[in-house]
Amino acid sequence: MPIDVHNHWYPLPYLEVLSEHGGRFGWEVARGADGVPVLKSVRGYIFRCTKATNNPDARVEEMNSGGLDIQVMSISEPWVDFLLPPQSIQLARLVNEDIARACEKYPDRLAGMITVPLNDVDSAVDEIARGVGELGLKGVIIPTRVNGDEPLSVDRHFPIFEAASRHGIPVFIHPALPPGAETMRKNLTGLMVGYPSETTLIIADLIVGGLLDRLPDLKILLADLGGALPFVIGRMVRFYEAFEELRRKMAHNPAHYLGRMFYENGAAAHPIAMNFLYQLVGPKHIMLGSNHPSPIGHFTKCMESIRSMSIPEEEKEMMLHKNAAELFRL
């Protein structure tokens, strides 16, 4: 019963809004040779849509073919903050209602995450309440930056985390292309390496800033095994030990917070990386993520990266579905 927590859904009305207004902010919705929409940005983002991108019937059909039981869907770049309020608020509501309709059609197969307007924090808090109470959505997705600029770790975003914690839903922190990625777009290195680097930088800043101390019940899910965080945690510990101002900011050693968060396996992560994270946080904090239906999304490969691990079968089952079912209350 595999559950996929990292996959993306772009409603058709959202694509129409992005096509009309995104050009002012470096975004376009082009058409591939077969006529399907292709999202592109000057910073190097590219996402080729398929029927499964916004058609629940096609999505479930692909899930059936790939041996996947449930998907927890969310939108991706550029989210809604390429517009200013109130348009960004209206677009977030549109996205959430569209995802909720898809989930209503297949309640045993599809679940969804809330999209919020980060450029209007009060409205974001309200939309979390609506998404949980009225739409039945199971989490909230938040990019590492607002419209590719302001980092998520600035203090004004704290009420959004607080609202998610209060409602008992996880926050999926998804990377956005970092500043300067446009200089590397021809090689797609912003997507390949910039994304996990961005996750590493922003979550480290949130940890050092005391977010997890201020909200002890907050549940955070990180994309791509947490980026490089598992590999730089030793360096963070050294800085913590060397600088008193860092020790004043955090209640614990930085390594303590690794076990406070959850990690998806990054569309078939390397076996050595999987085993390293497993040794650091154990099986209860790792789950399945395919990145479907993007070009790198592949159900079989992402499941195999867990099934091929030399660990007890019960722990594989935890990673494949039990952890996600508990985190998202499925």
> For 174-191, what is the mean pLDDT?
81
pLDDT band at residue 191 using 50, 70 and 90 as cut-offs? confident
What is the predicted pLDDT for the residue at 268? Answer: 63
Residue 29 falls inside a structural domain: no
46-103: pLDDT as tens digits: 888 889 999 999 999 999 999 999 999 999 999 999 999 999 999 999 999 999 999 9
Identity (one letter) of the amino acid at 219? K
Residue 195 falls inside a structural domain: yes
What is the predicted pLDDT for the residue at 296? Answer: 84
CB 212 within 8 A of CB 189: no
What is the predicted pLDDT for the residue at 177? Answer: 84
Residue 41 falls inside a structural domain: no
pLDDT band at residue 43 using 50, 70 and 90 as cut-offs? confident
Considering the chain, what percentage of its residues have pLDDT values greater than 90? 78
Positions of E strands within 52-117: 70-73, 110-115
How far is Cα 243 from Cα 254, in angstroms, rounded to an integer?
13
> For 238-248, what is the mean pLDDT?
96
State the burial class of residue 138 (Cβ atoms within 10 Å of its Cβ: 0-12, 13-18, 19+).
buried
Identity (one letter) of the amino acid at 161? F
Q: Which domain holds residue 189?
A: 3-11+51-327
Identity (one letter) of the amino acid at 145? R
Residue 28 falls inside a structural domain: no
152-175: pLDDT as tens digits: 999 999 999 999 999 999 999 999
User: % helix / strand / coil in the chain, to the nearest 5?
Assistant: 50, 15, 30
Mean pLDDT of the chain: 93
Residue 25 falls inside a structural domain: no
> For 11-16, what is the mean pLDDT?
95
Number of domains in the chain: 1
Residue 36 falls inside a structural domain: no
Residue 19 falls inside a structural domain: no
Strand partners, 228: none
CB 209 within 8 A of CB 153: yes
What is the predicted pLDDT for the residue at 321? Answer: 98
Residue 139 falls inside a structural domain: yes
Give the pair of three-digit tokens for residue 75.
């939108």
263-273: pLDDT as tens digits: 999 766 788 99
Considering the chain, what percentage of its residues have pLDDT values greater than 70? 99
pLDDT band at residue 38 using 50, 70 and 90 as cut-offs? confident
Query: What is the reported pTM?
Result: 0.96
The CATH number linked to 194 is 3.20.20.140
What is the predicted pLDDT for the residue at 24? Answer: 83
